[in-house]
Amino acid sequence: MLSNTLRSTARSSRLVAPNHRLLTRDARRTYASVTDLSNFPKPGEQIHGFTLKRTKHVPELELSALHFQHEKTGADYLHVARDDTNNVFSIGFKTNPPDATGVPHILEHVTLCGSEKYPVRDPFFKMLPRSLQNFMNAFTSSDYTMYPFATTNAQDFKNLMDVYLDATLNPLIKKSDFVQEGWRIGPENPRSPPKDESGSDLVFKGVVYNEMKGQMSDATYLYYIRFMENVIPALNNSGGDPQKMTDLTYDQLRSFQQGHYHPSNSKILTYGDQPIEEHLRLLGEQLSRFEKTEVDRDVKAPISLADGPRNVTVKGPVDPLTPPDAQFKTSTTWLMGDSNDIAESFALRIATNLLLDGYGSPMYSALIESGLGTDFTPNTGYDPSGQTGIFSIGLNGVTEANVPKVKEVIAATVKETIKKGLDKTKVEGLLHQSELGLKHKTASFGMNLIQRLKPGWFNGIDPFDALAWNSIMDTFKSSYASERYLEGLLEKYLLTDNTLTFTMTPSTTYSADLVSEEAERLQSKIAEAVSAYPSEQEAYKQLRERELELVAEQDAGQTESLDILPTLHVSDIPREQKRTVVRDSEVDHAKVQWRETATNGLTYFRALASFKDLPDELRMLVPLFCDSLMRIGTKTKSMGEIEDLIKLKTGGISFGHHATTSPYDTSKAEEGFAISGFAFDNNVSAMYELIHTVLIETDFDSPNAQRMVRQLLQTAASGAVDGIAESGHRYAMRYAEAGVSPQGRISEQVGGITQVKLITSLAAAEEDADAMSELIGKLKAIQALTVANMKQSMRVALTCGQDAAGPNESALRKFLHSTSSANLSANPASIYTTSAQDYTSSRNTFFNLPYQVSYSALLLPTGPYVDQSSAPIAILAKLLTHKHLHHEIREKGGAYGGGALSRGLSGVFGMYSYRDPNPDNTLEIYSNAARWAADREWTERELEEAKLSVFQGVDAPVSVNQEGMVRFLSGVDEEMEQKRREWLLDVDVRQVRDAAERMVGDVKSKAYVTVLGNAEKKAFLKEKSEAWRVVDMGMKGEAAA
């Protein structure tokens, strides 16, 4: 993924035994105080070949850190002890890419395809259903690769750690895995006879190749990666440029692996409450077989700007949904100080954040509110992940004439801000946000910590320094007490013209040029292959035979024994649901759910006000309404002033749309307006006042309201196509589900392609004063309806400490009373002009978009949550994913991802593909999947794996603010959850087969299919044109790709 197992050996028991016993004895006490350093070895002690170098207790983060080094190899190992059952492991390597062929990325994939101890095909994916992990992946970053997982089960942790270590340190690196995951030339459909002997059926194939074709279709990513190639040219594109990827050879991959995947080049990190003894033993056994070696830990430096400014211009694609004359992207970049200076880096984060963050920030006002552009470029912000910090400010949606002006305005705004001085209130707000962040308890704290520490650690930044939060804060406060400290930092680094200006210009032929380039490159590579054979026909024959050999190997992997792989069992899943104690009450006119638990002094608030019979026209504007609430301001306060108060008094407030299906009847859906926020207990009243101010007092009649809504529309429309490219399968699933269920229809309108089309059409009509006036009227109508519904149907969920419940109730009562007394008027009936959108006119829809790969989904209805028949479908979805769809769509088809899903709460089943080069083939797989499952003789072991997969999600740890939320949001109580839990655990083979048999007919008669991609060369559109509705997403003027 782009960010992005052990072999026993002898060890010297004479050296490790004394410390082994000491550590085991101490480990028994760690659960009494997981972070107490007296329970751990002392610096200088040796355990299993590791020497403990140093320790650090960090009370503000409730953790202790221990830094070990493996004496024989020099491997670095950091253990973070914390009272958290969600334990995390990660091993990573410094992997500076030598070129843009994507060798670190392809190696990340191939590494997980088999190892010495576990020589089965693709043990990584085979382990997914043999575990109760809640996170399991691998990432290729710009200059390092990491392999993390998280689980709450101790045996699972050992199993996965064993597999991960053997995979990364003893990988097989087979050529067949290289051509499957990297690239190859082969027939598009290997089992279909070629139409002729010309080789016209030959194409480039490979999982990573197609992943990166999809990634490079995203103009946002393309801008960022091209920028990085120019600001740090020595650090090549680690993900891989498809145009360069086909230059990579198998021998080069092996050479890179041998030079980088070694303990001497590794950083290992564990986190959580498990005793460290077993971690050290497993690591020591694996690492002891290696000798120390010299490795390339070179930290790549950015370009020098000492000789003056640089200007770079590159070409990019046209966005078919936004005005063609305003699609330039340009940014200005400065080189900052040494990132090892943690204190200065923190201060620079504060100072640069004040320049950029929020509607009241100087740069937002100067660049976006002024109309110069629509949104910040993806490289905007301060990046201290390398040894030298980089700071950029950039703008999307710029006209060609205004490109030079952007740099001028940025420079002038920096100068003016420094002269005027930074607002101390805003500094206090950011510090308050930092303090809240320390107290907010999340289920993914360990994974987030690892991902925060690893980039700096690989680039020479001491993780102990990065963990020392109180020290960093104390140093900042001391420095900030000096006059104009932050202004001085900005002056030090930004008052210079020694900058990089990076601009991307839109090219109407960009996509077509990519197609032409790939076709020429393909012919060149085919010619290379032909040169090794007596004739073209013999070469084509060999390429096709190699593809069939690969297919045979892939198919053989489906039936091989997996007994060698470790596994959990259904007996490891508790039969009893973990209980979350809540109580119900009524406060004023609202029903209130209370969750009283340890929250570190924070209160979490959530409220829902149901909508009844909301017309499509207003529903589709609810997202824009929510954005407008956080933009327009009131009669007495600007949004910048309100933002300052939000940051000073809360951890944030938000508004949104909510929809859920009835657990009893899938034909019934509830939708409503959602409000959420959290704050320290002593600021709860202020939080409620701010929610009231924003919701009730937002002034849609303000002379500035239309201008601000226009800006919101421009920002939302800018890059909408990129947003679809990043999550195309989700958009496909939403649209397909809209034909299947009422909730699906609602959710698609507020968060799917229909929403994208609405926003882009509104943005295109922004100069129409009458249309904007009508739009403002509709937003006012939503405001009035929302407040009216809050008086009639609001329910509230509060999570807080027991001692905070009384004050919370008083504050809530005051808030509800103030809401009830609000009197907003609107005449919504006069503006209900749009009829309901029909999603059922065609069961097959294709959205034509300028992408190099496709995204697809098939959805069909199942039963409600309380219907026992939905349980076997959930198991069937996992069986199809792991035993069929992954194999057919990804391994053989070359798509980056594919699988099946069952949403018990929504009552739907689906199949999907992601970054898929061959949707024709995938649609055929969908149509036959149920028949395949119904005819298969499922084993008890396969059934067990499917149940483990289901319960990875069911029993995944949740953050404290999410406890009790399933009950609150969907009406599913713990008794219903317990009953469904038992149904899932008790599903048998017969039930799975019966569910698959029923699905055979449902796929033919009830399924809705959606595909996103380029319509050109899609055989199913030509052969079955009458069955497909093709929607052109504004591609006029953009050549097909």
Residues marked as catalytic: 108, 181
Q: Rounded to the nearest 10 degrees, what angle do helices 424-439 and 342-356 cross at?
A: 120
Strand locations in 632-668 (E): 653-661
Show the tokens assigned to 359: 């509607």
Please give the C-alpha separations between residue 693 and each of 91, 600, 621, 789, in angstroms, as whole numbers. 48, 27, 21, 17
**Could you give the count of Cα atoms lying within 13 Å of 642 in the half-sphere of its Cβ?**
24
Using an 8 Å Cβ cutoff, are 900 and 562 in contact? no
What distance in Å separates the CA atoms of residue 777 and residue 817, rounded to the nearest whole number? 26
Using an 8 Å Cβ cutoff, are 899 and 912 in contact? yes
Question: Hey, what amino acid is at 722?
Answer: D
Please give the C-alpha separations between residue 580 and each of 165, 490, 772, 898, in angstroms, as whole numbers. 36, 49, 48, 34
- Quick one: which H or E segment has residue 1004? helix 989-1005
Residues listed for the chain = 1041
- Which long-range contacts does 371-376 make (Cβ < 8 Å, 24+ apart)? 371/711, 372/398, 372/402, 372/405, 372/406, 372/409, 373/326, 373/397, 373/398, 373/402, 373/406, 374/326, 374/711, 374/714, 374/715, 374/717, 374/718, 375/714, 375/715, 375/718, 375/719
Burial class (CB in 10 A: 0-12, 13-18, 19+), 836: exposed
Q: How many helices (H) and strands (E) does the chain have?
A: 38, 29
**What distance, in Å, lies between the first and last C-alpha atoms of the chain?**
24
Question: Hey, what amino acid is at 317?
Answer: P
Using an 8 Å Cβ cutoff, are 502 and 233 in contact? no
What distance in Å separates the CA atoms of residue 334 and residue 312, rounded to the nearest whole number? 14
What distance in Å separates the CA atoms of residue 371 and residue 706, rounded to the nearest whole number? 13
Q: Rounded to the nearest 10 degrees, what angle do helices 684-697 and 639-649 cross at?
A: 160
Q: Which residues are within 8 A (CB) of 545 and not within 5 positions of it... i.e. 6 or more apart?
A: none
| Number of Cβ atoms within 10 Å of the Cβ of 465 | 16
Using an 8 Å Cβ cutoff, are 461 and 699 in contact? no
What distance in Å separates the CA atoms of residue 480 and residue 343, rounded to the nearest whole number? 11
**Residue of 930, 939, 894 lying closest to 911 (CA atoms):** 930
Partners of residue 506 on adjacent β-strands:
316
Please give the C-alpha separations between residue 827 and each of 536, 629, 779, 824, 961, in angstroms, as whole numbers. 74, 19, 11, 10, 37
Strand locations in 557-668 (E): 583-587, 590-596, 602-611, 653-661
Using an 8 Å Cβ cutoff, are 183 and 205 in contact? yes
Chain center to CA of 808? 34
Show the tokens assigned to 40: 């751990």
Using an 8 Å Cβ cutoff, are 463 and 58 in contact? no
What is the DSSP secondary-structure string of 103-120?
HHHHHHHHHTT-BSS--S
What is residue 880's three-state secondary structure?
Answer: helix
| Helix boundaries (H) for 359-484 | 362-363, 403-420, 424-439, 445-458, 463-467, 469-480
What distance in Å separates the CA atoms of residue 480 and residue 350, rounded to the nearest whole number? 11
Using an 8 Å Cβ cutoff, are 421 and 348 in contact? no
What distance in Å separates the CA atoms of residue 609 and residue 791, rounded to the nearest whole number? 8
